[in-house]
Amino acid sequence: MAKSMTKAKAIETLATKTGLTKKDVSNLLSNLAGLAYKEAKNSFTVPGIGKLVLVNRKARQGRNPQTGAAIKIPAKKVVKFRVAKAHKDAVLG
């Protein structure tokens, strides 16, 4: 199994492909992440990759795996990532 790409390796690869410095690429990625955190509640799209969306989960019944006792899991908001169709097609073929 191949190793996953680290942040440092991604920065290095993008810097060589774009001609920017590693520091500029690192700042760009940090700013993109910050923008995604801020805008996720309204949905944040990275074209060709996917979309961050805020989803409301309903309250539900669950089980304690250790004791088997029924427990109530409260409703909550979660952030989900929906992969773009173009990304799925490129990865899966």
Reported confidence tier of residue 33, pLDDT bands at 50, 70, 90: very high
pLDDT score for 1: 66
Mean pLDDT of the chain: 93
Torsion of CA 40, 41, 44, 50, to 10 degrees: 80
Q: Note the pLDDT tens digit of each residue in 35-69.
A: 999 998 889 999 999 999 999 999 999 999 999 99
pLDDT score for 30: 95
What tokens were used for 43?
């949905």
Q: Give the percent of the chain with pLDDT over 70.
A: 99
Question: Is the CATH number of domain 43-93 3.40.1360.10?
Answer: no
Reported confidence tier of residue 82, pLDDT bands at 50, 70, 90: very high
Q: What is the mean pLDDT of residues 30-38?
A: 94
What pTM does this model have? Answer: 0.74
Classify burial at 77, counting beta carbons within 10 Å of its beta carbon; exposed 0-12, middle 13-18, buried 19 or more: exposed
Amino acid at 35: L
